[in-house]
Amino acid sequence: MIDRKRFDRIKDIIFNSSKANDIQINYFKNTSFLTRLANSYIHQNVHENNGNIVINVIFGKKTGVASTNDLTRKGLIKALRNAEKIAKLSPEDPDYPGLPEGIQAEYYKQFNQTTDKTTPKQRAEMLKEIVKLCSEKNVNASGFISTKTDNFGVATTNGADCFASASSSSLFIITDKGLGTGFAEEIQNDFSKINFKKVAKIAIEKCILSQNSISIDPGEYTVILEEAAVGEMLTYLTYFAFGTKGYHEGRSPLVGKVGKRVFGKNITITDNWNHKKASGIPFDSEGVKRSKVSIVKDGIFKGLVYDNYYSKKFKMKNTGHALPPGMVYGPLPLNIALSKGKTSPEEMIRTTKKGILITRFHYTNISDPMKTLYTGMTRNGTFLIKNGKIAKSIKNMRFTQSIIDALNNVTQISNLQVFSGGFMGGGTVVPKLKIKQFNFTGKTDF
């Protein structure tokens, strides 16, 4: 539900109770529901209702941040006093520019009444139908269906008064039969638009195809990465290569490469909160209008996103990408979109003489940030492609691969994109990718 009135009450209490030079308020209200499935039985139904406020108090070039989930008047005043104490005890930051001039905005395009009012019975009925489809093929089903509504409010003493509400529905299904497993997911703003039959069909087909898997030797292979794998890979790239703070501290592999080619010519990446498949909002945590930013264009690194602090410090345009006060990452692009190509998913397989189709990754991490060396396992559907056809299921393999090298070795990009969930309210919009010379360093027995 939309919670604008509570936010108005909160900001009035805080603004009228402090003599700080400036104040920044971020309000978060999350209402979420989840119905979980395991071994084809519903075993969990939960509801969370969380509210939180973050207060940034400013005295000159001193700042103090405090947060609380006690949103009573007493709780808010206590958090405010804590922030004031922290600010007065903190050293001055000579680079602190103060708060930017904020905008006034309300954004409800991403709020969906159907999703917000979804009942446990509706979620259970969807999972019941999925179990029925799986049972017809003697396949077990696990996973979840979740619905949530997030409210985000920003208010500052420098003019910002912003509020947004966004809804999301996520269906995540893993199927299993013996050691063979399959996976499919779908994320929609509108619960009623989730095509659960299609999701179940994909997961079932992958599970059945995954029976009697064979082992293949580690080495370099051409791979086709489906969207879940591409989205996760790009999320890591966002943290370790596109983070503005890391870049200016010399911790990004892209340092000094603005205007230079860093990926293949077929790679274009933007941060676009307003992409038709994205779930972004039009302002940041300081109440600054969020801009669409070209990060990579035809393989050339164009630049980064900025908030007020880093834009003033490095004489760049503020693109409206401030994270909430107290977060250590610096500005990040939260709504990454990798441009689609011209190849159908079927053609990507048909034109592969020998390769591996990867459904998703599991247990991933970055082992060398400066090389974007990325390692993890394949999971829930890994298949050998021979002469343009899926020939056999293969047992899961460990990969160790530079993301930068991978994005220099993309030979085909699918003509479809999907939204893949991300972090801190963002997400990625991605196609499938065919990549040559993807490096596998180990194999498993399952």
Are 287 and 160 a contacting pair, CB within 8 Å? yes
Q: Which domain holds residue 85?
A: 4-204
Per-residue pLDDT band at 425 (split at 50, 70, 90): low
Same domain? For 189 and 249 the reply is no
Last residue of a domain, one of 145, 179, 204: 204
Q: What confidence score (pLDDT) does residue 415 get?
A: 98
Q: What confidence score (pLDDT) does residue 284 get?
A: 97
Count up the domains in the chain and report the number. Answer: 2
Instruction: Please measure the distance between the N-terminal and C-terminal CA atoms of the chain and give it in whole angstroms.
Output: 44
How confident is the prediction for the chain on average, in pLDDT?
96
Residue 422 has pLDDT above 80, yes or no: no
Per-residue pLDDT band at 378 (split at 50, 70, 90): very high
pLDDT digits (tens, 9 = 90+) for 319-350: 999 999 999 999 999 999 999 999 999 999 99
Same domain? For 259 and 391 the reply is yes
- Largest alpha-carbon pair distance within the chain? 72
CATH number at residue 37: 3.30.2290.10
Last residue of a domain, one of 204, 224, 248: 204
Same domain? For 153 and 74 the reply is yes
* Closest listed residue to residue 207, CA positions, set 143, 144, 138, 145: 138
Query: Which residue in this structure is represented by tokens 């001193």?
Result: 62
pLDDT digits (tens, 9 = 90+) for 121-171: 999 999 999 999 999 999 999 999 999 999 999 999 999 999 999 999 999
Same domain? For 200 and 220 the reply is no
Are 419 and 187 a contacting pair, CB within 8 Å? yes
pLDDT digits (tens, 9 = 90+) for 174-224: 999 999 999 999 999 999 999 999 999 999 999 999 999 999 999 999 999
Rounded Cα distance, 416 and 433, in Å? 11
Same domain? For 59 and 144 the reply is yes
pLDDT digits (tens, 9 = 90+) for 24-67: 999 999 999 999 999 999 999 999 999 999 999 999 999 999 99
Residue 106 has pLDDT above 70, yes or no: yes
Share of the chain above pLDDT 70, in %: 99
Same domain? For 124 and 261 the reply is no
pLDDT digits (tens, 9 = 90+) for 63-96: 999 999 999 999 999 999 999 999 999 999 999 9
Residue 420 has pLDDT above 90, yes or no: no
Same domain? For 190 and 160 the reply is yes
Q: What confidence score (pLDDT) does residue 424 get?
A: 52
Higher pLDDT, 343 or 426: 343
Per-residue pLDDT band at 2 (split at 50, 70, 90): confident
Q: What confidence score (pLDDT) does residue 108 get?
A: 95
Q: Parallel, antiparallel, or unpaired: how do β-strands 410-413 and 433-443 relate?
A: antiparallel
Q: What confidence score (pLDDT) does residue 423 get?
A: 57
Last residue of a domain, one of 178, 204, 230: 204
Rounded Cα distance, 343 and 224, in Å? 12
Q: What confidence score (pLDDT) does residue 1 get?
A: 65
Same domain? For 20 and 107 the reply is yes
Same domain? For 190 and 128 the reply is yes
State if pTM tops 0.85.
Answer: yes
Same domain? For 133 and 274 the reply is no
Helix (H) or strand (E) holding 400: strand 397-402
Rounded Cα distance, 291 and 345, in Å? 32
Cβ partners under 8 Å of residue 100, min gap 6: 158, 286, 287, 288, 308, 318
Same domain? For 246 and 167 the reply is no
Same domain? For 61 and 111 the reply is yes
Per-residue pLDDT band at 310 (split at 50, 70, 90): very high
